[in-house]
């Protein structure tokens, strides 16, 4: 075939291939146009999962009759005009591609009335041919009707899923858009049902919008984040670690009001959560990044779902620190409700059985040592809590060698001693990382490992060294340990090293150096923390409670399990039907 220039209709259909994947893409483009037009209320109506009909009606600025046909031609936009505009985009659209693309793969009609116009005008598009504008009746604003999507492209029509699936995509998309702008009303319905109704709310009502879209439970079990630095601000809500989910379905990012699924941002949050989540659990969040538009390029993805930051490293760090710092605040404070109660009297979801303490115990059956000795080795630079301000109260007893029972002002406190001690040790080791006090062993210990295990271990030798170990390979499968961190028990180093190596080997996420170091420290902490059935004296229990109060993130162990919980006097009274 000779080379030739494609005709315009075909060019539009090819462009539509990139932007219009399914009915939800049409809803996205049309609703974004309505938002750009300053609409206060946007109503979407669909039939047959949006394939038979998608109608979007808004009360925005509208399009003058004279420009209506132009709006439907390729590369026609009112949003940018120079390269400088392109470098600092403040609208959701900017390419002038959406309407012609949609019109080329459907039966299309637009009716619009500009703010100051007397009358509305209507234009229809048939098989790529744009008709003449004709007068019509419509209040100020725009209505666009898209019928029979892909009627002229049977091959693409085959890729569409069932009506229910396509409808689900539309609902989730509109939920995302509704979270991006709580000052706009969004409605979605079919002929018979309302699928989404999010009326606009006054200022400061973002939590109400989030509750409506994501659920009240998320709002109640989340922490507010608000952190600014120069031209960047991140704000929103992050779910408490105990509210983490098995899937990533509750993760929302908005950059300058644009809903994105950006890897860099998602990764930064995951990193911020890294040592409060049990592996495999997903954080939940609704976060907004506001940034000088000149510092972010939104022209980086066909569906504008990803963005590029000029200083990606800095943005990543900024978000990561904001999340990490907010989570570090989760330690016992006077009068604060523990995580397991979520502040509303409901308990955290039950933990999987495999997390049972006994599992951890079986993994390191010999790690018995005096807690008091280890605690004595821990020096804190944090000033001691003022007398009378001991949120976790005074220890009373130990139950079944697993839980510590204590009494504070509000009532009864229950502490999972292994989980709590693990967190205390871990934070201490992290704080000391690189400068950890080491303890030379009088007699070096040799540990036999599989050759590849030893390879893995030595690949992380720097991290082991930073943690306070002195290790060397003696032969392909023997390791000699000359020194260990002063914080650790001196008994049974061999089992500890072996457990840690196996724990770390399972973890493929540990390629980031920081993550690898923390993973190692976390595993060491878990394997060396006091295990079940260790008898503690009251003094040891109280020492642990005091340490928890001074340890960042002490509300969860480093697998994200809660470390303590409170049963208030009111709750106890209720249990015993005692009126006061």
Beta strand pairing call for 120-126 and 134-136 = antiparallel
71 is written with which tokens?
């709006």
DSSP code of residue 278: -
Q: By three-state DSSP, how is residue 120 classified? A: strand
- Shorter beta-carbon distance to ligand ATP: residue 47 or 67: 67
**CA nearest neighbour of 523 among 562, 482, 565, 558:** 558
Least distance in angstroms from the C-beta of 141 to ligand ATP: 7
- Binder of residue 106, out of ligand ATP, Mg ion, none (CB less than 5 to 8 A by kind): none
- Binder of residue 97, out of Mg ion, ligand ATP, none (CB less than 5 to 8 A by kind): ligand ATP
- Shorter beta-carbon distance to ligand ATP: residue 65 or 234: 65
Element (H, E) at 396: strand 394-399
**Which residue has the closest beta carbon to ligand ATP?**
93
- Shorter beta-carbon distance to Mg ion: residue 97 or 416: 97
- Shorter beta-carbon distance to ligand ATP: residue 142 or 167: 142
Least distance in angstroms from the C-beta of 32 to Mg ion: 5
Q: How far is CA 55 from CA 363, 502, 522, in A?
A: 60, 57, 53
Least distance in angstroms from the C-beta of 189 to ligand ATP: 19
The 3-class SS string of 125-158 reads EECCEECCCEEECCCCEEEEEEECCCCCCHHHHC
Q: Note whether 52 and 107 are within 8 A (CB).
A: no
- Shorter beta-carbon distance to ligand ATP: residue 21 or 571: 21
- Give the CA diameter of the chain: 96
Least distance in angstroms from the C-beta of 105 to ligand ATP: 14
E strand segments, 218-344: 222-229, 232-239, 251-255, 258-260, 285-291, 296-297, 308-309
Q: Which residues bind Mg ion (CB under 5 A)?
A: 33, 93, 98
DSSP code of residue 58: E
Least distance in angstroms from the C-beta of 409 to ligand ATP: 58
- Shorter beta-carbon distance to ligand ATP: residue 18 or 356: 18
Least distance in angstroms from the C-beta of 38 to ligand ATP: 8
543 is written with which tokens?
């020492």
- Shorter beta-carbon distance to ligand ATP: residue 231 or 302: 302
**DSSP letters spanning 456-469:** HHHHTHHHHHHHT-
Q: Which residues bind ligand ATP (CB under 6 A)?
A: 29, 33-34, 37, 58, 60-63, 71, 77-79, 93-99, 142
- Binder of residue 94, out of ligand ATP, Mg ion, none (CB less than 5 to 8 A by kind): ligand ATP
The CB-side HSE value for 354 (13 A sphere, CA atoms) comes to: 3
- Shorter beta-carbon distance to Mg ion: residue 71 or 544: 71
- Binder of residue 427, out of ligand ATP, Mg ion, none (CB less than 5 to 8 A by kind): none
Q: Cα-Cα-Cα-Cα dihedral of 194, 200, 205, 206, to 10°? A: 70
E strand segments, 29-116: 41-47, 53-58, 107-113
- Binder of residue 244, out of ligand ATP, Mg ion, none (CB less than 5 to 8 A by kind): none
- Shorter beta-carbon distance to ligand ATP: residue 29 or 166: 29
- Binder of residue 78, out of ligand ATP, Mg ion, none (CB less than 5 to 8 A by kind): ligand ATP
- Shorter beta-carbon distance to ligand ATP: residue 98 or 277: 98
Least distance in angstroms from the C-beta of 262 to ligand ATP: 18
Least distance in angstroms from the C-beta of 185 to ligand ATP: 15
Compute how many other C-beta atoms are within 10 angstroms of the C-beta atom of residue 37: 21
- Binder of residue 168, out of Mg ion, ligand ATP, none (CB less than 5 to 8 A by kind): none
Task: Kindly give, in sequence order, each residue whose CB lies less than 8 Å from that of residue 341, ignoring residues fewer than 6 positions away.
Answer: 347, 348, 565, 566
- Binder of residue 142, out of ligand ATP, Mg ion, none (CB less than 5 to 8 A by kind): ligand ATP
Least distance in angstroms from the C-beta of 93 to Mg ion: 3
DSSP code of residue 317: H
Least distance in angstroms from the C-beta of 50 to ligand ATP: 17
**Which residue has the closest beta carbon to Mg ion?**
93
């Amino acid at each position: 075939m000779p080379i030739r220039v494609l005709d315009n209709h075909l060019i539009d259909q090819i462009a539509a291939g990139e932007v219009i994947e399914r009915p939800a893409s049409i809803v996205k483009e049309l609703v974004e146009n309505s938002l750009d037009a300053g609409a206060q209320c946007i109503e979407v109506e669909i039939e047959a999962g949006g394939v038979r009909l998608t109608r979007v009606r808004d009360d925005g600025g509208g399009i003058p009759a004279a420009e209506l046909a132009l709006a439907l031609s390729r590369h026609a936009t009112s949003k940018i005009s120079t390269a400088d505009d392109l470098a600092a985009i403040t609208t959701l659209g900017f390419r002038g591609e959406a309407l012609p693309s949609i019109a080329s793969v459907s039966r299309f009609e637009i009716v619009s009335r500009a703010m100051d116009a007397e009358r509305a005008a209507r234009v229809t598009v048939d098989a790529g041919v744009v008709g003449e504008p004709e007068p019509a009746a419509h209040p100020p604003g725009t209505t666009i009707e898209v019928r029979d999507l892909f009627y002229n492209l049977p091959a693409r029509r085959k890729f569409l899923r069932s009506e229910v699936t396509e409808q689900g995509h539309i609902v989730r998309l509109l939920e995302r858009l509704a979270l991006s702008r709580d000052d706009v009303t969004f409605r979605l319905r079919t002929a018979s049902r309302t699928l989404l109704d999010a009326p606009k709310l006054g200022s400061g009502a973002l939590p109400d919008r989030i509750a409506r879209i994501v659920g009240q439970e998320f709002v109640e079990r989340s922490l507010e984040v608000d952190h600014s630095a120069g031209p960047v601000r991140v704000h929103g809500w992050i779910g408490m670690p105990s509210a983490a989910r098995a899937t990533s379905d509750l993760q929302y990012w908005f950059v300058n009001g644009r809903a994105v699924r950006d890897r860099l941002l998602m990764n930064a949050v995951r990193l911020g959560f890294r040592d409060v989540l049990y592996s495999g659990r997903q954080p939940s969040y609704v976060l907004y990044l506001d940034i000088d538009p000149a510092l972010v390029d939104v022209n980086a993805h066909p569906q504008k779902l990803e963005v590029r930051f000029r200083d990606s490293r800095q943005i990543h760090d900024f978000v990561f620190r904001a999340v990490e710092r907010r989570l570090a605040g989760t330690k016992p404070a006077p009068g604060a409700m523990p995580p397991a109660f979520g502040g509303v009297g409901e308990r955290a979801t039950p933990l999987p059985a495999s997390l049972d303490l006994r599992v951890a115990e079986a993994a390191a059956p010999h790690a018995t040592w005096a807690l008091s000795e280890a605690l004595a080795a821990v020096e804190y630079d944090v000033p001691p809590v003022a007398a009378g301000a001991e949120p976790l109260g005074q220890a009373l007893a130990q139950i079944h060698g697993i839980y510590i029972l204590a009494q504070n002002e509000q009532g009864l406190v229950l502490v999972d001693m292994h989980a709590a001690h693990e967190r205390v040790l871990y934070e201490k080791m992290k704080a000391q990382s690189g400068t950890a006090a080491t303890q030379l062993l009088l007699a070096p210990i040799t540990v036999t490992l599989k050759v590849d295990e030893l390879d893995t271990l030595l690949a992380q030798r720097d991290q082991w060294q930073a943690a306070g170990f002195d290790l060397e390979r003696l032969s392909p499968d023997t390791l000699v340990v000359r020194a260990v961190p002063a914080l650790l028990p001196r008994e049974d180093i061999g089992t500890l090293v072996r457990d840690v190596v196996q724990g770390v080997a399972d973890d493929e996420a540990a390629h980031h150096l920081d993550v690898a170091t923390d993973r190692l420290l976390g595993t060491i902490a878990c394997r060396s923390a006091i295990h079940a059935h260790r008898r503690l004296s009251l003094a040891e229990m109280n020492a642990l409670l005091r340490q928890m109060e001074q340890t960042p993130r002490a509300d969860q162990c480093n697998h994200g399990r809660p470390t303590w919980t409170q049963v208030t006097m009111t709750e106890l009274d209720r249990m015993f039907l005692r009126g006061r």
